[in-house]
Amino acid sequence: MRRDIDWVFWGSLFLLALFGLAAVASAASPLPHYGQILRRQIEALAAGFLVFGLAWRWPYPVYQGQAKLIYAVSLALLVLVLVVGASHKGHRSWIEFFHMTLQPSELARVGFIIVLADYLSRREKFMDRPAAVGGAVLLAIPVLFLILREPDVSSALTFIPIILAMLFCAGARPAHLLGFLFWGSVSGGVILSYLFFSARYPGGEDAPWPAIFLMRAFHRVLPFAVSFALPFALAAGWRRFAEFLGVRIRLARAMRWAAIAAFGFVCAVSALHALKDYQKKRVIAYLVPESHASGASYHSQQSKIAVGSGGLLGKGLFSGTQSRLGFLPERHTDFIYAVVGEEAGFVGAMGLLLLYLLLIRRILVAAKAAPDRFGSLVCCGVAAMMGFEFLVNAGMCVGLNPVAGLPLPLVSYGGSSLLATFWALGIVANVYSRRLRMEF
């Protein structure tokens, strides 16, 4: 039993949860339903530890056998939320039953890690093929599609680093991952630069030529999409076409990259049409802060003020003016890290950061010690999930990246996130308890 427990892992996990409870208790105290919020958070923590304990004892290979079922249940929950979900601030992300609210996308994320780990562990021999990357992406598409329907872009975005990290750890060829990354950066870059130019040159006058090109491209999607899709199609079909002709001309490697870029461009343009106005505003507020005096950039600014005013040692628990007087938005959920920064200062914020690093380090230790490939990949996925969510959330609170509605796992208020995280960490604990007995 003793050897089953990674004390450092458990300790950092427990400290983080405690840290989070204190932060929520402080951040939510001026709110009208303070008692209810605190009670729910304590209940969720209790339930979370229960789930953690169960998952810790539950043999993880069972998940691998039931991967298809988990995938089906995840999709079913995501469909269910679109049908019966409660709408809050324009998102249909919560299912209410009894007195609890469940956020299926949180559970689906952990479920997807299991499903992808199962998929990749069974393709160990074929990881050097592009099909491995393609397969992982195809697996994610139904889940992402349903989450984007809610719509919850931030939540969907967390899947990308998870997929990338798991593919990487599973041994996919870096060139394929780079291609995937290249596609992502082209789509992201096009979206960002389009939004930037449209905010900077609202009327289109005096704009430099790339801006004009982008804006025209946006308004005439179809011709552009076709002209960019053509080389892509050509690249995809070239080998067959060449064989058919009986000639051996190898398409230049650059052509493939061009094709990826074209695909990225098409995706970006379609995404731009799908983005909601408030989402565009968030990104614009990050790119061109002066374009919005209030709104999204106001939140980012107030969060920076909260963190910066905390100083070295902070203003003290329950004494943060930015959070208590309401200047900080979403203080007990998305911006909880800013509350920590304000009330516990640089020391507290760094302490939280180091606890996270310690936790992630121990997850990766479990990944290395895992008895099989599936267990190892699950741990990598969980580490990527925790790491990415922490970095994006903390980065948002200190003004490094745009405002994204992501909770800080284990710390933010929110039952579903807590339960899902505890479940994931419980699986990691189980993997560790079954580690190969020879080393360490």
Instruction: Check binding of 325 to other proteins (CB under 8 A).
Output: yes
Binding other proteins (rule: CB under 8 A), the pick from 45, 114, 261, 394 is: 394
As a whole number of angstroms, the distance between CA 188 and CA 153 comes to 13
Are 176 and 130 in contact by the 8 Å Cβ rule? The answer is yes
As a whole number of angstroms, the distance between CA 49 and CA 30 comes to 27
Binding other proteins (rule: CB under 8 A), the pick from 23, 37, 51, 380 is: 380
Please report how close the Cβ of residue 341 comes to other proteins at its closest, in angstroms. 7
Please report how close the Cβ of residue 332 comes to other proteins at its closest, in angstroms. 15
As a whole number of angstroms, the distance between CA 140 and CA 112 comes to 8
As a whole number of angstroms, the distance between CA 140 and CA 149 comes to 14
Binding other proteins (rule: CB under 8 A), the pick from 20, 111, 375, 387 is: 387
Instruction: Check binding of 178 to other proteins (CB under 8 A).
Output: no
Closest CA to 192 of 272, 289, 260, 301: 272
Binding other proteins (rule: CB under 8 A), the pick from 35, 53, 237, 326 is: 326
As given in the structure block, the two tokens for residue 412 are: 């933010």
Instruction: Check binding of 399 to other proteins (CB under 8 A).
Output: yes
Instruction: Check binding of 304 to other proteins (CB under 8 A).
Output: yes
Are 57 and 361 in contact by the 8 Å Cβ rule? The answer is no
The neighbour count for residue 327, using CB atoms within 10 Å, is 17
As a whole number of angstroms, the distance between CA 417 and CA 409 comes to 7
As a whole number of angstroms, the distance between CA 330 and CA 37 comes to 13
The number of residues that bind other proteins (CB under 8 A) is 45
Instruction: Check binding of 175 to other proteins (CB under 8 A).
Output: no
Instruction: Check binding of 384 to other proteins (CB under 8 A).
Output: yes
Please report how close the Cβ of residue 315 comes to other proteins at its closest, in angstroms. 9
As a whole number of angstroms, the distance between CA 337 and CA 240 comes to 54
Instruction: Check binding of 318 to other proteins (CB under 8 A).
Output: no
Residue in the block written with tokens 């872009």:
153
Instruction: Check binding of 391 to other proteins (CB under 8 A).
Output: yes
As a whole number of angstroms, the distance between CA 209 and CA 34 comes to 54
Instruction: Check binding of 285 to other proteins (CB under 8 A).
Output: no
Of the candidate spans 52-60, 85-93, 228-236, 308-316, the one that interacts with other proteins by CB under 8 A turns out to be: 308-316
Binding site for other proteins (CB under 8 A): 165, 168-169, 171, 294, 302, 304-312, 321-322, 325-327, 341, 345-346, 349-350, 353, 356-357, 360-361, 364, 367-368, 376, 380, 383-384, 387, 390-391, 394-395, 398-400
